[in-house]
Chain A
Amino acid sequence: MIVDPDKNIVYLAEMKSSQNGVDVARDPNGPSPRARLEDWVRKSKGPWGDNQPGENLHLSKQIQKVLASGGEVRGIWIKVEVPRINEGSGGTLQMVLKNYE
């Protein structure tokens, strides 16, 4: 997650990988990026104790402020081909970035 407070946008990245090429990497499925963020915010209240790093408190508040002020949520779908390793040599890592709703 990346927050741009000046533009009032939260970017939510979701990575899907495959060893059979970037085109075969699965689509992000399930709830919309906005719904995922709203759920993340709810969960961020939950853990009891101070195990979470302090940055999470700031991040959660920044995200909540963006969401509460009508800001935008942009989903970024990162498709990655993870190369197979053959006899000790790795292949080429391929990555494609797309928007998703």
Chain B
Amino acid sequence: MSDIYTTTYKRWKKRDKITAELVQNVPVKKKAFAESGLIEYSSYENTDVTEITSVLADLGSYYYVLLGQAVGESLKEGAFVTTDYEKVYSSLRLLNACHLFWHIYFNETSRGQHKLARIDEYDLFIYVVMSVFYSKKEFATASSIAFYALNKELVFFFGEFRKAATQKFIFKLTAQFHGHTSKEIEQLDLYEPLFDELLNHWDDEDPSLVLNELLLKACYRHTHHSRDGNSKEGFDFEFIGVHHFPLEILFIFRLREWRGLAMPTVEHPIMAPPFNTLPKETEPTYSDELIDGVYARIRHDWPNFDSTLEDVRTLYF
């Protein structure tokens, strides 16, 4: 058996090193650049309605920096700082909603004559995973956006160059959880037998029989995928903000909790607090002027923004 399932990657950066890097080396210029773009948008400095395309770029950078900061603070404090994650989630949710809305609008008006930037699998993956931090309602909304985007092939995967097995596994598990079937999601190639096994065992009644061992393998695998990619090979967790954040394990924990199943036991350094469990579910209530301002401008320019996304939701739920 390959040692990616039985050993921790020897170059997996130590927790204190990652923590220091995340806390001390925040890309403040990148964050400020994104913030100023969002402020410009919400203050109508350019009244062209297609300026929504600049929001996609700015929100993409913005949530990324916030996520790194949130994880850094959690690792430093040894506690899940819930406000930080809600802040990440509010921008991430808006990013994915905007991107899907823009696709629907653009494809209708251009009748498919033009190609449009696809939704990044990573943005969608983080959104779906983070939605289970909150509530079933949030998870349903995120799932509906994922299903629509995947079924219409609006999601960018980099094929053989970036296999994104964890990301595809999360999308498949989400579909399985909700009982949603589509050939587009079924055809996503996992390139990873471990995830095929997890799809078969994630909801086992007794986790001690098979599931605990599979999750331990997934922890080891996470460490091997926590590194930079190159032009020939990509990894599932290239962003240092998730090197010590076992998103896929916590995702399974929450789905099992919602099914009333026993919690698995996984002993691996990546499962050290605060990432050994998720906080109690809750509805996200965070708001701030920046994100509220962007919502206000979008709803002004696109009065059908909310109803379009609600239509997407009702397709599946």
Contact = CB atoms under 8 A, between A and B. Distances in A.
Interface of A: 30-31, 34-35, 38-39, 41-43, 45-50, 52, 54, 57, 60-61, 64-65, 67-70
Size bracket, chain B contacts: 35 or more
Contact of A70 (B22, B28, B106, B161): B106
Given A48-B68, A70-B115, A61 B241 contact: no
Contact of B117 (A30, A54, A60, A67): A67
Which 8 pairs across A and B sit closest by C-beta, in order of nearness?
Answer: A70-B114, A67-B117, A64-B57, A68-B53, A49-B25, A68-B117, A61-B57, A50-B29
Nearest to A42: B120
A48 B68 CA distance: 8
Contact of A39 (B27, B30, B37, B158): B158
Contacts of A35: 156, 158-159
Contact of A45 (B29, B60, B229): B60
Contacts of B68: 48
A7 to B, nearest CB: 14
Given A64-B53, A70-B115, A31 B161 contact: yes
Interface string B19-37: 0011001111110010001
Contacts of B115: 34, 70
Contacts of A69: 50, 53, 116
Interface of B: 21-22, 25-30, 33, 37, 50, 53-54, 56-58, 60-61, 64, 68, 102, 106, 110, 113-118, 120, 122, 156, 158-159, 161-162, 229, 238-241
Residue among A34, A47, A48, A70 with the highest chain B CB neighbour number at 10 A: A48
A61 B29 contact: no
Given A48-B26, A49-B21, A52-B30, 9 more contacts: A38-B117, A38-B118, A47-B27, A50-B25, A54-B29, A61-B58, A64-B117, A68-B102, A70-B110
B118 A48 contact: no
B159 A57 contact: no
Contacts, number: 88
B67 to A, nearest CB: 10
Contacts of A38: 117-118, 120, 156, 158
Contacts of B238: 43, 46
A77 B101 CA distance: 35
30 contacts: A31-B158, A31-B159, A34-B115, A35-B159, A38-B117, A38-B156, A38-B158, A39-B161, A39-B162, A46-B64, A46-B238, A48-B21, A48-B25, A48-B239, A49-B25, A49-B27, A50-B25, A50-B28, A52-B30, A54-B33, A57-B33, A60-B57, A60-B61, A61-B33, A61-B57, A64-B60, A64-B117, A68-B102, A69-B50, A70-B106
